[in-house]
Structure 1
Amino acid sequence: MQEKSSTPLQLSDLHLPDVPSWLPLAWGWWASIGAIVVVIIIVLLVVRWKRKRLAPKKTALRLLTPSLGLQTPSSAIELLRQAAFCYYPREQIAHLTGKDWYAFLDDQVGRPLFVPHETQWQQALYQKQSTVDSNVLIEDCYQWINDALPPKKRRSVNVGKH
């Protein structure tokens, strides 16, 4: 029998492959990064657009805050008209006065705020000493700006038509 040698075989050391690196990234990673960047840009643009669109409403509400008590009905309705000009086409509302103006305001809110108080508005707007409670009229302006601006798209409902 042969004798086993106690010396190990003369083998070379193991050569392990290099650790895979992150770069260059595979196309799937680039597509994911691109999609994330596009989504972030879209979100930022939407936020900026909303902020810009709501700026006139927020300014009008801040200026018309009922707790300040510095407004008169004539200045409140003027501020309401200026806020409406920011959202509605000038051709649609510039010519409206009196009953037509109040009807337009009520139509935008969907409930009567101004038409029932038309005589009170006329007294408050054109008399030096107002005999009506001006806080109620100013609160109606505040409520209209808060509810009607920015205008919402309305679907026409055909009642009773098939």
Structure 2
Amino acid sequence: MDEDAAPQLDAATRAALQKLADIAQPPPVSWMPQTWGWAALAVLVAALLLWALWRWHQYRVRNRYRREAIAELARIEARHGAPEGRADAVTEAAALLKRVALAAWPREAVAPLSGRDWVAFLRRTAGGSSFPDEAAALLDDAEYRWPSNRRVADADEKAFLVAARRWIEGHHVPA
């Protein structure tokens, strides 16, 4: 007799095994919501998501001029790194400030401003930061009175460019 051979089943066991049926499995559970409340919540969440994306897009469109101005200011800083170019950097940054203001406010409100009125406008609209006195003095001088060979101290130029960057990033435009 071979030990590996399966044991012989008696007739009663064989009859019982033939009558067995496979286990009946329930159908898989659906991921679809079973009540209208979950469907309404899904619609509400989708609507809120679309609204948030639309608001983010509008914010990006409204503030595109700021991003472009910051990039231009970085190019000005990089272009005029030498001591003889500091006055040109301040002059170009002052013109950039005016262009940014013209992009954000009506032309008739910004274009005629110069000197102390222009500095007062920058201070009034600066948002959370103020426009420092040193930067205001350089701006006032740079606007129309500088000869082309004027020299600017490194610290003054850096302070002016920092103030310009802060104003561009943080100015507040009333709705």
Q: 1:40 is aligned with what amino acid?
A: L
1:1-162 to 2 correspondences below 5 Å: 25-65=34-74, 67-70=77-80, 72-109=89-126, 110-113=130-133, 114-117=135-138, 120-121=141-142, 126-133=146-153, 136-137=156-157, 139-147=159-167, 149=169, 151-152=171-172
Taking structure 1 as the reference length, the TM-score comes to: 0.64
Structure 1 residues 151 and 118, CA gap change in structure 2 (3 angstroms): closer
Q: Unaligned stretches of 5+ in structure 1?
A: 1-15, 155-162
**Cα contact 2:69–2:96 (8 A) shared by 1:** yes
Q: Which amino acid aligns with 2:137?
A: P
Paired with 2:73 and 2:67, the residues of 1 have a C-alpha distance of 10
CA distance in 1, matches of 2:105, 2:35: 51
Higher helix share: 2
Aligned to 2:7: none
Matched residue SS, 1:126: coil
Q: 2:140, 2:109 → 1: CA distance? A: 24
Using the size of structure 2 for normalisation, the TM-score is 0.60
**Root-mean-square deviation (CA), in Å?**
3.3
Aligned residues between the structures: 137
Question: Which amino acid in the other structure matches residue 62 of structure 1?
Answer: A
Q: Where do 5+ consecutive residues of structure 2 fail to align?
A: 1-23, 81-87
Counterpart CA distance in 1 for 2:106 and 2:34 is 52
Identity among equivalent pairs (%): 21
Q: CA deviation at 1:118?
A: 5.3
